Structure 1
Amino acid sequence: MALYKGKPIFEQKLRTERPKIAKIFTDCADKAKSSTNTCMHPNCNEKAINSHIMQKNGILSSIADDNHLWELSVDHFKQEYVGLRRIGINKIYTFSGFCNNHDSSVFSKIETQGDIDFNDYESCLLFALRTAYNELWLKEVVIKIQECIINHSGVEVNDEMLKETIRQNKLGIKDLEFYTNSMWSDLNNKSESFFFEYREMDLTELCLNSIYTYDTSQEIMDYQYKYGKDMERTSEIFISYFPYLGKSILLMGYHKDDASKVKSFVNMFFKENIKRTNRRLSSLIAFNCETWVCSNTFYKEKFKGLDSEFFKAMQFSGKNGNERKTFNVNIFKPDFKNNFKNFINKSVG
């Protein structure tokens, strides 16, 4: 997900009611994305291709209707600038992460070598690795967007806010490098620095790949107030939820150094009954995680007409302070639309 220190990227509020400035924001975003295109594999400087966060053939294609899916996106020309958009499968759920060689060779075990074994450590690690690099790419893009806006003469913004956003995302990149360094070490040395859990669930036509910051915004602020500095490192949980062979797979992992802190939280997704797990997943999807896509059928049944509610949910999440809280919404229930609307009306307005 596009989270750092408990704050979503969409909270950066790069939106304006003035079309001229909205165009500057949009141009800066396009420029940042197109220029962040060097392979992220260690010691490789080749140009990156458009990599899918989750494999196109077999996973995304299994829920794509007419080769299209729906995802959350930003439109700076709209007052409520977060909404759902239908995009072709070749472009949706992608990032410029790896060159063609490394995109093919590194992830072949979970993409082209037959059925995936979720009891195999390396297979689980590869899902986390791709998720981690998508998040790194997003943070690099956000930094470039902020720098572009600061240096643009045609826009009046709060430079200090943008500079703080840059600082926070640089800290986030540093944190993520701890995890990616451990992942590459594991792949190269056949070691195991992470714990992984997986669970088979009823098929849902939704795909999620996200990094969830365990430390809440309030805990991070309390630490800064108490010690006068940022946390040395936040504890990240790597989450994948996706359709596979007629089921949905929930896969979560965390670094062994963080086990004492996050293990009990992760275990709730795997030890509790399916109703509670679905509510926990629903809170992640609706309030904390932005990196997900769904089928046209699922969109029509669950999300159509809820653009305003999702926009308000992102705002609510940014002010909530306790991102680990599970709310009384359940995407998997037939009455989700009405319940979600009622929750937003009561909690956000």
Structure 2
Amino acid sequence: MRRQDIDNAKRIDDCSKQAKEKANTCLHPGCNKKAINSHIMQKNGILSSISEDQHLWEFSIDHFTEELFVFNKKGINKIYTFLGFCNQHDTEIFRKIENRDGINLNDYESCLLLALRTACNEYRIKEVVINTQKCVLNNSNNTFLIMGLNEAIKQNKLGLKDISFQIDSMWKDLQNKTESFVFKYREIELIEFCLNSIFTYETSQEIQDYFTKYQKNMERTSDIFISLFPYNGKSVLLIGYHKEDEVKVKSYVNLFFEEDDKSLKQRLSSLILFNCEVWVCSDRMFKEKFQGIEKKYFSNAVHYSTQNGNEREVFDIDISSPNFKEEFEKLINNNFL
């Protein structure tokens, strides 16, 4: 790695650390206490059910490697966590989905709490990214970099605004016992994988076309909350969206619940590989599916996800297939190389 690249990587890493240190206030409305590290999904019963020796694998960003995106193995106490809420609010708000009786997926509030954790984690991620970009911007004299960062900050602020709309609606639901969201779930055979992400229904091309036509950004994009997690020997797919977006997203969401298992797994695999960044997997799944192809996976899948104008595209690939590595190699060679 060149000296300049090392300096740039160190600058980004330093800025990222500073940004994370600042983003530590409880996300409960009106609370100024320090947030604690809490799991995005429950450690006991969910993450623990697919862990081996109390460890799981997640992928992360490493600014000091050429691959940039890497897998890391972490202990179950530290993996899949975020600084979301103070100890008091983390305990009080999420008690319903943390109790020993399990999660009632037919209960609206339980589904809402799972979506709230996902939304708050995404909010925190964007908050850290924006503050990191601002820090790098303030320490750079590269004209092209400055232009790029200004645009990136602008777009991330729009994303933060969209997530804030969802979170505000969730808090109102919890306070007023209203139901502003639609939730659906489905059980499939176990995949040793845990995913909690927000998927924007509008494709990059649709967003660009809107801007070209109206010379302004969309008032708000339509966010879909997607969770896939192990539960009682199965994998549960839980999807939610705001009722204001129902006309636009309902038919798309219904595909996840009307398709057969094979088609569903292809749809989920396409989302996971090209559009979702917040997930962990078991040691067995990492070794069977990703070990040995990490570089090709990230250098092509991640690059493609930034260039593809149709994020709803579905590929002929199944992450749960015994032949996944061969299928993925074929997909990459035929489409992206």
> What is residue 120 of structure 1 aligned with on the other side?
107
Q: Does 1:321 align with 2:309?
A: yes
TM-superposition CA deviations, 1:234-266 (whole Å, max 9, x none): 000001100011111000000111111101111
Deviation at 1:195, TM superposition (A): 0.6
Q: Does 1:348 align with 2:324?
A: no
> What is residue 191 of structure 1 aligned with on the other side?
178
Letter in 2 for 1:337: K
Match of 1:279 among 256, 261, 266: 266
The sequence identity of aligned pairs, in percent, is 58
Does the 8 Å contact 1:150/1:162 carry over to 2?
yes
Deviation at 1:109, TM superposition (A): 0.6
Aligned partners of 1:154 and 1:97: how far apart in 2? Answer: 34
Q: Does 1:147 align with 2:134?
A: yes
Aligned partners of 1:298 and 1:154: how far apart in 2? Answer: 44
Aligned partners of 1:153 and 1:183: how far apart in 2? Answer: 39
Equivalent residue runs for 1:1-349 within 5 Å = 18-153=5-140, 158-311=145-298, 312-349=300-337
Deviation at 1:60, TM superposition (A): 0.8
Count of residues in Structure 1 that have an aligned counterpart in Structure 2? 335
Aligned partners of 1:151 and 1:280: how far apart in 2? Answer: 41
**SS state of the match for residue 96, structure 1?**
strand
> Relative to 1, partners in 2 of residues 1:229 and 1:47: Cα closer, same or farther, differing over 3 Å?
same
Aligned partners of 1:83 and 1:342: how far apart in 2? Answer: 22
Does the 8 Å contact 2:204/2:309 carry over to 1?
yes
Deviation at 1:348, TM superposition (A): 1.9
**SS state of the match for residue 284, structure 1?**
helix
**SS state of the match for residue 178, structure 2?**
coil
Letter in 1 for 2:330: N
Aligned partners of 1:310 and 1:186: how far apart in 2? Answer: 40
Deviation at 1:110, TM superposition (A): 0.7
Structure showing greater relative contact order (alpha-carbon pairs closer than 8 Å, 6 or more residues apart): 1
Letter in 2 for 1:208: L
Gaps of 5+ in 1: 1-14
> Relative to 1, partners in 2 of residues 1:298 and 1:145: Cα closer, same or farther, differing over 3 Å?
same
Deviates more, 1:259-268 or 1:80-89: 80-89
> Relative to 1, partners in 2 of residues 1:65 and 1:232: Cα closer, same or farther, differing over 3 Å?
same
Normalising by the residue count of structure 1, what TM-score does the alignment of the two structures yield?
0.93
Deviates more, 1:153-162 or 1:338-347: 153-162
Aligned partners of 2:31 and 2:284: how far apart in 1? Answer: 40
Deviation at 1:90, TM superposition (A): 1.7
> Relative to 1, partners in 2 of residues 1:318 and 1:58: Cα closer, same or farther, differing over 3 Å?
same
Deviation at 1:20, TM superposition (A): 2.2
Deviation at 1:88, TM superposition (A): 1.6
> Relative to 1, partners in 2 of residues 1:73 and 1:156: Cα closer, same or farther, differing over 3 Å?
farther
> Relative to 1, partners in 2 of residues 1:62 and 1:336: Cα closer, same or farther, differing over 3 Å?
same
Aligned partners of 1:197 and 1:46: how far apart in 2? Answer: 34
Gaps of 5+ in 2: none
> Relative to 1, partners in 2 of residues 1:254 and 1:309: Cα closer, same or farther, differing over 3 Å?
same
**SS state of the match for residue 85, structure 2?**
coil
TM-superposition CA deviations, 1:3-23 (whole Å, max 9, x none): xxxxxxxxxxxx997222211
> Relative to 1, partners in 2 of residues 1:171 and 1:345: Cα closer, same or farther, differing over 3 Å?
same
Does the 8 Å contact 2:61/2:68 carry over to 1?
yes
Deviation at 1:51, TM superposition (A): 1.5
**SS state of the match for residue 158, structure 1?**
helix
Aligned partners of 1:242 and 1:310: how far apart in 2? Answer: 22
Deviation at 1:310, TM superposition (A): 2.5
Aligned partners of 1:217 and 1:267: how far apart in 2? Answer: 22
Aligned partners of 1:336 and 1:147: how far apart in 2? Answer: 40
Letter in 1 for 2:199: Y
Does the 8 Å contact 2:140/2:146 carry over to 1?
no
> What is residue 5 of structure 1 aligned with on the other side?
none
**Could you say what the CA RMSD is over the residues aligned between the two structures, in angstroms?**
1.6
Aligned partners of 2:143 and 2:284: how far apart in 1? Answer: 42
Deviates more, 1:161-170 or 1:16-25: 16-25
Deviates more, 1:305-314 or 1:47-56: 305-314
Deviates more, 1:23-32 or 1:313-322: 23-32
Does the 8 Å contact 1:149/1:155 carry over to 2?
no
**SS state of the match for residue 226, structure 2?**
strand
Deviation at 1:181, TM superposition (A): 1.1
Does the 8 Å contact 1:16/1:76 carry over to 2?
no
Deviation at 1:204, TM superposition (A): 1.2
Does the 8 Å contact 1:131/1:211 carry over to 2?
yes
